Amino acid sequence: MGKITLRNVVKRFGDAEVIPPLDLDIENGEFVVFVGPSGCGKSTLLRLIAGLEDTSDGVISIDGLDATDTPPAKRGLAMVFQSYALYPHMTVRKNIAFPLKMAGLSPEAAAKKVEAAAKVLNLTAYLDRKPGQLSGGQRQRVAIGRAIVREPKAFLFDEPLSNLDAALRVNMRLEISELHQTLKTTMVYVTHDQVEAMTMADKIVVLNAGRIEQVGSPLTLYNRPANLFVAGFIGSPKMNFVTGAEAEAHGAPTIGIRPEHIDLSAQNGDWQGKVGVSEHLGSDTFLHVHVPEVGVVTVRAGGEVAARHGDTVWLTLQADRIHRFGPDGKAL
């Protein structure tokens, strides 16, 4: 079981209110991702759930029981830190066994669990090494191993992949998703990377300055962003926003259109523009098109598009994909 509920949770550091009153439900077995720009309070929120920070106000309950004042060790949650936080003078084996030892488990039973976890995480060959002798990805796995053996109600991850190189990050992303499929334990995952959020989450919580901007499945956020912030944050490259007369023509103060929802033509369309920088990724090409009266519009085109710098192109917006936002930034 691992159902976590936050009601009116507030966190203040001195006078600074980092988390204004916030409600959130995390269902049992869900993979929830907190995503938002750096400094928006993701880590703080996670640490509140973990019990590493005291709430200034509000109630956190785990499996229906009030856990607001429960010490971290008693909450039954396991955390994987950004810096891995492995114990440097202990071998991998001892690192993974540490929570079991602290729980008073017999050494034989602990050894069995460590072996099992090591097998799942491909760490068997490294059990007698010290963390300093491991690569970043292996350290990450040890940190996860230390969390798994406790059989927690929920896993908490704080930007676990941000210290890894790009290729490894993609691998570990898959491994963690894989692990979630196997264990079916609740996971709460913090990241500033919307790609990680989109690829891993069952449910994404978009945070901005401590406030929840929107909660929903990845595709909900992609297809129906609740406001300008979510629209701009989810999706890569970023959604194009247009204001002024062109927007009014579509019936809103601001409209948004994703680069992949603009059709490109050499002959005709809604907007005429000049190609600026074009980024060739092989599978796709991102064109930055300068449209008079509108600004720079990013367009996603096929990998074979032969547009050059300075070429004149025509853009057509896919009418049913246009997002309209009111004067307060909320979606209409």
Partner 1 sequence: MATKASRTAARAMVSPAVILLLGWMIVPLAMTLYFSFLRYNLLNPTQGGFAGFDNYYYFLTNPAFFQALTNTLTLVLGVLVITVFGGIGLALLLDQPIWGQGVVRVLVIAPFFVMPTVSALVWKNMFMNPVNGMFAHMAKAMGLQPYDFLAHAPLASIIVIVAWQWLPFSTLILLTALQSLDREQQEAAEMDGASVFNRFVYLTVPHLTRAVTVVILIQTIFLLSVFAEILVTTNGGPGTASTNISYLVYAQSLLNYDVGGGSAGGIIAVILANIVAFFVMRMIGKNLDA
Ligand X SMILES: Nc1ncnc2c1ncn2[C@@H]1O[C@H](COP(=O)(O)OP(=O)(O)O)[C@@H](O)[C@H]1O
Give the burial string for 85-104 (b: 16+ CB within 10 Å, else e): ebeeeebbbbbbbbbbeeee
What's the first-to-final CA gap in the chain, in angstroms? 38
Residue type, 281: L
Binds ligand X (CB under 6 A): choice among 18, 92, 234, 317: 18
Tokens of 245: 């007369």
Q: Return the number of the residue (49 or 114) whose C-beta is nearest Mg ion.
A: 49
Binding residues among 30-49 for Mg ion as defined by CB under 5 A: 43
Q: Is 191 in the site for Mg ion (CB under 5 A)?
A: no
Q: Give the torsion sign (CA, 59, 61, 65, 66).
A: negative
| Least Å from the CB of residue 210 to ligand X | 7
Distances in Å between the Cα of 43 and the Cα atoms of 115, 189, 190, 209, 252 are 31, 10, 7, 12, 36
Where do contacts with partner 1 occur on this chain (CB under 8 A)?
A: 50-52, 71-73, 77-79, 81-83, 85-90, 98-99, 102-103, 146, 150
Q: Is 38 in the site for ligand X (CB under 6 A)?
A: yes
Characterize the bridge pairing of strands 4-13 and 16-26. Answer: antiparallel
Cis omega (within 30 of 0) on the bond before 237? yes
| Least Å from the CB of residue 43 to Mg ion | 3
| Least Å from the CB of residue 152 to partner 1 | 9
Binds ligand X (CB under 6 A): choice among 4, 6, 40, 197: 40
Q: Which does 146 bind (CB under 5 to 8 A by kind): ligand X, partner 1, Mg ion, none?
A: partner 1
Which of 280, 291, 288 is CA-nearest to residue 314? 291
Binds ligand X (CB under 6 A): choice among 43, 95, 227, 298: 43
Q: Which residues pair with 184 in a beta bridge?
A: none
Q: Return the number of the residue (40 or 331) whose C-beta is nearest ligand X.
A: 40
**DSSP code, position 161:** T
Q: Is 326 in the site for ligand X (CB under 6 A)?
A: no
DSSP three-state, residue 87: coil
| Least Å from the CB of residue 173 to Mg ion | 18
Binds ligand X (CB under 6 A): choice among 41, 160, 218, 235: 41
Q: Which does 265 bind (CB under 5 to 8 A by kind): Mg ion, ligand X, partner 1, none?
A: none
Characterize the bridge pairing of strands 211-216 and 203-208. Answer: antiparallel
Q: Return the number of the residue (50 or 264) whose C-beta is nearest partner 1.
A: 50
Binds ligand X (CB under 6 A): choice among 44, 186, 191, 227: 44
| Least Å from the CB of residue 159 to Mg ion | 6
Q: Where are the beta strands (DSSP E) in the chain?
A: 4-13, 16-26, 31-35, 57-62, 65-66, 77-80, 154-158, 186-191, 203-208, 211-216, 240-243, 254-257, 262-265, 271-280, 284-291, 295-302, 312-317, 323-325
| Least Å from the CB of residue 118 to ligand X | 30
By CB under 6 A, name the binding residues for ligand X: 13, 18, 36, 38-44
